[in-house]
Structure 1
């Protein structure tokens, strides 16, 4: 019964996605990665600061962004953005580093990033995170200061333990810190390298995945490999820079593109 429920939910959400975009003219693509350089971005590495990536945690090799994962940090867009669809194509590499050498491969796409570099734990700008982690890609996190300035509201299923799990039509919940899990996250998820959940939509290690983050007005919707996996409204803030994390795991990115959307 559990598998039938998730199959029905995936079909319904995928159909919604197809209808939404098939009926509208696609906006012009604005590449944020040119395949040759990190122009348009700057780096911020924990304990090293801005543009001091001496270990080349972020580099471009063979037309791909290579995130080594060796040190915590991010690349950050020079510009702020609002009302867009952000498309990211990524795959995991083999290498992992302490303190997550034996833990689930971890990274993240941080949108609406505001405030000072390193404002969150001395590493990242405060933001709204589309989590990229084995078993949990598509979770939404508030990477803020706990105040009303950073928040998301999502509809959630009845709680299992302490988890807040997104489900369309569920009970609305507003959080100023913490996370909303994607709808199929395995309740027995373990923070271990190579973890795969029973309902994972992320492709196996070494295969490419596509994330679409649709930020329009004060809403954020996350699609993983074509399926809506998470959604939030009343998002604060609703504009800012974009960050791509390094968090202990090697990752490759072949495409980062933005598509401007009109406000509703």
Structure 2
């Protein structure tokens, strides 16, 4: 083979090799989950875009109405005027997450007059909007395991199995020890029967069986702070296990969780909410 052809072939192969390496480095499938070695404030230094991007069903990656705004005092305001969330740019695994929040007074859109609603989606995988939509319209969420934040139901586990970019079902799963309440709903109990869920909700241990989807609902055994007081929510993500704690009380547990890593999504779901702390850090030596 002539020398000039050998040279051209060499350049072509080098270029192809470089492009393949570049694609592997930037592909979502090649992303490595971060296990924190120090505490990270997800609210950043006055700049939400440092750790988050926005997804809204009616705006995609744009937030023209300012659903999410970070005040000069460092407190995040979620107006509730939309459905979607703040989604971390990075994936995380084996971490301790602390969220300190309080409700505002407003309820909006299809949640007007209903229980104030939000949530933390953990181990998010797949496309933005891959859960809760249709074949023609993306949804507000992602395939994930949710830590529910709703009046009367803070700490419920929701298994959200959505679809991938090609529209194919994705796996989500969690095993909890449960009892059944008078309505047949699953309620976490340390003495319950181990049951695997591939969808649906596992109520926190003290959820009122007479729960109603009305604003200001409060159950007899609720541990969330009342009214517009601050609540401390903790999530311990340990391998394939999850532990949720609200104001110092263990409210739910799961094992054999899948996925075991992913992005974190802080929801907007028609309720005004304020967040003064959103931190992710290394797991403590003792897991409750």
TM bucket (normalised to shorter chain) is 0.7 to 0.9
Instruction: State the match for 2:151 in structure 1.
Output: 134
Where does structure 1 lack aligned partners over 5 or more consecutive residues?
A: 1-26
Distance 2:111 2:41 in 1: 31
CA positional deviation for 1:148: 7.3
The CA distance in 2 between the partners of 1:202 and 1:85, in whole Å, is 19
- The CA deviation string for residues 129-174 of structure 1, in whole angstroms up to 9 with x for no partner, is 0000000000000111396720110001244212100010210111
| Structure with larger RCO (C-alpha < 8 A, sep 6+) | 1
* Offset of residue 114 of structure 1: 0.3
Distance 1:82 1:165 in 2: 26
For residues 96-129 of structure 1, give each alpha carbon's deviation from its aligned partner in whole angstroms, at most 9, with x where no partner exists: 1020111000000000000000001211111110
- State the alpha-carbon separation in 2 of the partners of residues 72 and 170 from structure 1: 34
Q: Which residue does 2:16 correspond to in 1?
A: none
**Which of 166, 182, 207 is 2:188 aligned to?**
166
Paired residues in the alignment total 237
Q: Which residue of 2 is the match for residue 15 of structure 1? A: none
In the alignment, what sits opposite 1:4? none
1:104-119 correspondence to structure 2 within 5 Å: 104-119=115-130
Give 5+ residue unaligned stretches, structure 2: 1-36, 133-138, 164-168
Q: Are 1:151 and 2:173 matched, yes or no?
A: yes
Larger CA deviation: 158-167 vs 214-223: 158-167
Cα distance in 2 for partners of 1:216, 1:262 equals: 10
Q: TM-score, normalised by structure 2?
A: 0.79
Is the 8 Å Cα contact of residues 110 and 242 (structure 1) preserved in structure 2?
yes
The TM-score, its normalising length taken from structure 1, stands at 0.86
Q: Which of these residues, 151, 157, 178, is aligned with residue 200 of structure 2? A: 178
In structure 1, how many angstroms separate the alpha carbons of the residues matched to 2:223 and 2:131?
29
SS state at 2:111 partner: coil
For the residues of structure 2 that align with 1:135 and 1:234, how far apart are their CA atoms?
26
Q: CA deviation at 1:35?
A: 5.3
Deviations 1:26-64 (A, max 9, x none): x732221135120210000112112x0000101101311
Checking the alignment, whether the CA contact within 8 Å between 1:35 and 1:64 is kept in structure 2 is no
The CA distance in 1 between the partners of 2:221 and 2:181, in whole Å, is 18
Asked whether the equivalents of residues 118 and 148 of structure 2 are also in contact (C-alpha less than 8 Å), the reply is yes
Q: Is the 8 A contact 2:142 2:162 kept in 1?
A: no
Alignment match, 2:86: 75
**SS of aligned partner of 1:165:** strand
Alignment counterpart, residue 45 of structure 1, candidates 48, 56, 64 = 56
1:233 lines up with 2:243 in the alignment: no
For residues 53 and 132 of structure 1, the distance between their equivalents in structure 2, rounded to whole angstroms, comes to 22
Q: Supply the RMSD in Å over aligned alpha carbons.
A: 1.7
